[in-house]
Amino acid sequence: MADLQMVQEQIAESWIAVESFRLLVLRTAWLIDKHKDYNKVRKDIAAIKVAMPKVYHDVATKAAHLHGALGVSNEMPFMHMVTSSLVMGIADGPTEVHKVTLAKQILRDYAPENDLFPSYHIPRLRAEAEKRFAKELAEIRDHYAGRRSPAAAEQE
């Protein structure tokens, strides 16, 4: 089965999910050591509490699925793992609560815009850039229109 591309895809996705989760945990542990203040790493801790049940569930489900009927039997550990992942999603508080905590912690660093469109709205950015670089744009337009700009004439 390991030679089948779809099996390889599932293995690759599972490995990426587990390793990404491990890096999140290691980064959070580093931040805890660095700040020595759990309030400063609340969002990171909440992210771990959200990610763990999902990663566990997804990897266990893929493993069960790849094993077919044997994977969902009581002869393999996968269905117990799937059930455990569901328990993990509520044991330390529901995952949804951790998501709310995470979102609130993330949003603390941002302020809402009072305009109809946000500051990163492309037409607004384009207009600001055209205003800021009006001289340079005029020179480029003149150049491509077959005319020389005054700045180019002075340099000659």
- pLDDT of residue 4 exceeding 70: yes
| Residue that is written with structure tokens 């542990």 in the block | 29
Specify the domain boundaries for CATH 1.20.140.10 within the chain: 5-107
Kindly state which CATH superfamily the domain 5-107 is placed in. Answer: Butyryl-CoA Dehydrogenase, subunit A, domain 3 (1.20.140.10)
Distance CA 59, CA 145 (A): 61
Residue 146 banded pLDDT, cuts 50, 70, 90: confident
pLDDT > 70? residue 150: no
pLDDT at 136 over 80: yes
The mean pLDDT of 21-37, rounded to a whole number, is: 97
Task: Supply angle C-alpha 92, 15, 49, rounded to 5.
Answer: 15
Residue 13 has pLDDT above 80, yes or no: yes
What would the pLDDT profile of 74-130 be if each residue is shown by its tens digit? Answer: 999 999 999 999 999 999 899 999 999 999 999 999 988 888 998 899 999 999 999
Mean pLDDT value of segment 38-46: 95
Three-class SS state of 148 = coil
Determine whether 123 is exposed, middle or buried from the number of CB atoms within 10 Å of its CB (0-12, 13-18, 19+).
exposed
Q: What is the pLDDT of residue 144?
A: 87
pLDDT band at 149 (very low <50, low <70, confident <90, very high): low
Q: What is the pLDDT of residue 143?
A: 87
The token pair that represents 45 in the structure block: 């801790």
Residue 145: the pLDDT is 86
pLDDT of residue 152: 61
Distance CA 72, CA 88 (A): 20
Mean pLDDT of the chain: 93
